[in-house]
Amino acid sequence: MHIHLIDWIVIGFFLLISISIGMYMSRRASRSTSDFFLTGRNLPWYVAGTSMVATTFAADTPLAVTELVAQSGISGNWLWWNMLFGGMLTVFFFARLWRRANIMTDAEFVSIRYSGKPARFLRGFRAVYIGIFMNAIVMAWVNLAMVKILQVMFPGLTVFGYSHFTFLGIGFSAHLVVVGAMMAFVALYSSLSGLWGVSITDTFQFVIAMGGSIILAFVALGHVGGIHGLREGLAEVDWVFDFFPVVEGGERAVSATGMLHMSVVALVAYLGVQWWASWYPGAEPGGGGYVAQRMMSAKDEKHSLLATLWFQIAHFAIRPWPWIIVALAALVMYPHEADKGATYVMVIRDLLPTGLLGLLLAAFFAAYMSTMASQTVWGTSYIINDLFRPFIRPGGSEKYYVKISRITTFILMLLSLIVTTRFEMISDAWRFILACSGGIGLVLLLRWFWWRINAWSEIAAMLAPYAIYPILVFHFGLSYETTLLIIVAWSTIVWLTVTFLTKPADKSTLESFYKKVHPGGPGWKPVADQLPEIQGDTGYKSLFVSYIAGCILVLFSLFGIGKLIFAEYITAAIYLVLAAGAGAVIYYKLSRTGWDKVIS
């Protein structure tokens, strides 16, 4: 493989546009922390939603999907497709509430919902635990994926003639040094422009990344002889084309020995529990993290809902197929390759001509940069808004906090680079995060709709998993799925017990929250009875119908596009017509109720 001048020109042009957007938006971001972290709450839905999608389109995502397809076929993607059910809850039940809360971070939610010293502790703890600890792990994950890409594309890479470096006793490969340089570039434009620049840049980068992925899918498919050639090349493992997993014990389990088999325990864990029980970046139950940041940045509640709906459609129905097609082609091209994730990059290396090679490298850079920029701005918002401002240096000017925010962006990037050197098995890291956050999801959902939840409930749910995780994993050696189910049951018992043994938030805090957010529903009846002048939200039955229709819209669009690609036109038409019908139901329900009544 040779990278020619035109490839470098394409990459350079992409980087130039990215930094230009940051410089252009820097003045607007400098006005205040609200402008820096929340765009002055003026983000249109299509930019906010696309920014969410771009953030979840990291450099590691196509590689991870390639591994899933190689191991379990198309149906292996249910390990993340299941998160749609939680994401669609956010669309119809939580997006408008986040926008209405008028806060800067989801950690700040603690200060308007709970009261007393436990609330202060929880806010600071979440800022450190999620904004620094968890965020550094996620960023390290993305860095490692970028390192793998560079190792495949530039196997003999050196920097100033050296392949390894040591700094402060920490070893860095030349590939990681290059990733560090990319991080510095990301830190530069994100620290200049804040969320405004990050969101606009995300939109541009998503177009590049998605366009590059589609071009690669066409090239890879043509190389193996189209869909017919793909099916012939994988005839001995035709289970890879199946969209649905087999539950062990079913009639097909014997004949389809290679495809994804889910035991009953795994089926319950992935499709019945994980999507609502576990905290995970970008898929937090009820919304949270950078997704909440975009919802809170939207122009109004309508834009918040539409942004999140567009995110679910693009994330689950549109993005996967170019990656899946390349993953299937890679199985034909590299059947004996041990590192299946790396085969995605090998397809780029071996098939693309000059010019397109530069475009695909730019696409990977775009995916990497959009994720890292969002993670740093989001993590910095926690550190400044929920740790530095309230506990370390209260009373500073807005310009001072913006200045500290920019410095913190670079520090957070450096921390994640150091953490990257300590990671080898990323898959273990995300399983650890999902398992050790098991049980917190129900609290994150119910805290909006049940007055009795308090700060101690959330603290207990966050800490309870760590009491039994080492025993389940290291002593009993249980599988991830079994561990998750036990932890969720254990955490739920713990936080419910703690909730009823401790006092609720004080009356004034509960009433202030209800006046501000007016969530409605039977869970707030004791508070609502004291505030008859406040009209709580209604129309939950209609929203539930929209929720079901939303899940159908996305899943049937996903399946319809897939069947269309595989030339099963009648089945594709049925799926797509049903998806369109579900979309019509959503439009009808919201229009009939009235946007002003449902989301204001």
pLDDT band of 167, cuts 50, 70, 90: low
Tell whether the model's pLDDT for residue 389 goes beyond 50: yes
What span, in angstroms and rounded, lies between the C-alpha atoms of 491 and 489?
A: 6
At 24 the pLDDT is 74
For 47-72, write each residue's pLDDT tens digit.
989 988 888 877 778 888 998 898 88
Task: Examine the domain organization and report whether 15 and 123 are in the same domain.
Answer: yes
Identify which of 467, 388, 403, 350 has the alpha carbon closest to the alpha carbon of residue 128.
Answer: 388
Q: What is the mean pLDDT of residues 506-518?
A: 94
Residue 540: inside a domain: no
Residue 405: inside a domain: yes
Q: What is the mean pLDDT of residues 234-241?
A: 86
Residue 591: inside a domain: no
How many domains are contained in the chain? 2
Residue 539: inside a domain: no
SS (H, E, C) 190-221: HHHHHHHHHHHHHHHHHHHHHHHHHHHHHHHH
Quote the domain boundaries for residue 155: 5-437
Task: Examine the domain organization and report whether 391 and 477 are in the same domain.
Answer: no
Domain boundary among 485, 505, 525: 505
Looking at residue 370, which CATH number applies to its domain?
1.20.1730.10
Task: Examine the domain organization and report whether 348 and 487 are in the same domain.
Answer: no
Tell whether the model's pLDDT for residue 258 goes beyond 50: no
Tell whether the model's pLDDT for residue 425 goes beyond 60: no
Q: What is the mean pLDDT of residues 111-124?
A: 93
Q: Is residue 523 packed enough to be buried (19+ CB in 10 Å), middle (13-18) or exposed (0-12)?
A: middle
Task: Examine the domain organization and report whether 465 and 396 are in the same domain.
Answer: no
Task: Examine the domain organization and report whether 305 and 335 are in the same domain.
Answer: yes
Tell whether the model's pLDDT for residue 35 goes beyond 70: no
Structure tokens at 156: 């003999």
106-115, 231-240, 355-364, 422-431 — which is least confidently predicted?
A: 422-431
Residue 597: inside a domain: no
Residue 55: inside a domain: yes
Q: What is the mean pLDDT of residues 132-138?
A: 80
Structure tokens at 29: 């971001």
pLDDT band of 214, cuts 50, 70, 90: very high
Which residues, in sequence order, are CB contacts of 484 under 8 Å at separation 6+? 269, 273, 274, 277, 278, 434, 435, 438
Q: What is the mean pLDDT of residues 501-506?
A: 95
Tell whether the model's pLDDT for residue 172 goes beyond 80: no
Task: Examine the domain organization and report whether 334 and 471 are in the same domain.
Answer: no
Task: Examine the domain organization and report whether 425 and 501 are in the same domain.
Answer: no
pLDDT band of 445, cuts 50, 70, 90: very high
Task: Examine the domain organization and report whether 487 and 352 are in the same domain.
Answer: no
409 versus 122: the higher-pLDDT residue is 122
At 310 the pLDDT is 95
At 326 the pLDDT is 95
Identify which of 547, 555, 488 has the alpha carbon closest to the alpha carbon of residue 268.
Answer: 488
At 255 the pLDDT is 35
Task: Examine the domain organization and report whether 415 and 463 are in the same domain.
Answer: no
**Average pLDDT of the residues of the chain:** 84
Q: What is the largest CA-CA distance in the chain?
A: 74
Task: Examine the domain organization and report whether 390 and 501 are in the same domain.
Answer: no
For 269-280, write each residue's pLDDT tens digit.
777 888 888 877
pLDDT band of 259, cuts 50, 70, 90: very low
| pTM recorded for the entire structure | 0.85
Residue 141: inside a domain: yes
Residue 145: inside a domain: yes
What span, in angstroms and rounded, lies between the C-alpha atoms of 248 and 366?
A: 40
Tell whether the model's pLDDT for residue 252 goes beyond 70: no
Task: Examine the domain organization and report whether 230 and 377 are in the same domain.
Answer: yes
Task: Examine the domain organization and report whether 173 and 213 are in the same domain.
Answer: yes
pLDDT band of 253, cuts 50, 70, 90: very low
Domain boundary among 505, 540, 555: 505
266-270, 294-298, 459-463 — which is least confidently predicted?
A: 266-270
At 105 the pLDDT is 84
pLDDT band of 104, cuts 50, 70, 90: confident
